[in-house]
């Protein structure tokens, strides 16, 4: 938790609009943990080219896309997206 909070604080201080991450959706200590910290799933329709490229690289390296999820935390109003 402290590491995520530090990363979010850094992003805010750097003037970023959001923090985006990819994680496993099916492990209770991953996606559900980030959801408790305010992160929300970014639906494919709202994923930009850079985030889609990250997810494609994960799939190419052998990670099952069905088990992965992109999540975002908006730092300045609005919903997290990438």
Task: Give the pLDDT confidence of 29-60 residue by residue, as tens digits.
Answer: 898 899 999 999 999 999 999 999 999 999 99
Sign of CA dihedral 27, 68, 58, 80: negative
Q: What is the CA radius of gyration of the chain?
A: 13
Q: Name which residue leads in pLDDT, 27 or 81.
A: 27
Instruction: Over range 64-69, report the average pLDDT.
Output: 96
Residue 26 has which token pair? 């099916």
Dist. CA 40–CA 47, nearest whole Å: 13
Which pLDDT does position 81 carry in this prediction?
A: 43
Question: Please, what is the end-to-end C-alpha distance for the chain in angstroms?
Answer: 22
Say if CB 1 and CB 14 are below 8 A apart.
no
- Report the DSSP beta bridge partners of residue 71: 21, 41
Parse the chain into domains and list their residue ranges: 2-74
């Amino acid at each position: 938790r402290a590491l995520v909070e530090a990363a979010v604080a850094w992003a805010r201080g750097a003037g970023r609009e959001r923090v985006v991450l990819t994680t496993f959706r099916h492990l209770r200590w991953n996606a559900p943990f980030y959801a408790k910290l305010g992160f929300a799933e970014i639906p494919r329709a709202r994923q930009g080219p850079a985030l889609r490229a990250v997810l494609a690289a994960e799939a190419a390296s052998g990670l099952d896309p069905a088990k992965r999820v992109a999540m975002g935390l908006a730092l300045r109003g609005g919903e997290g997206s990438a």
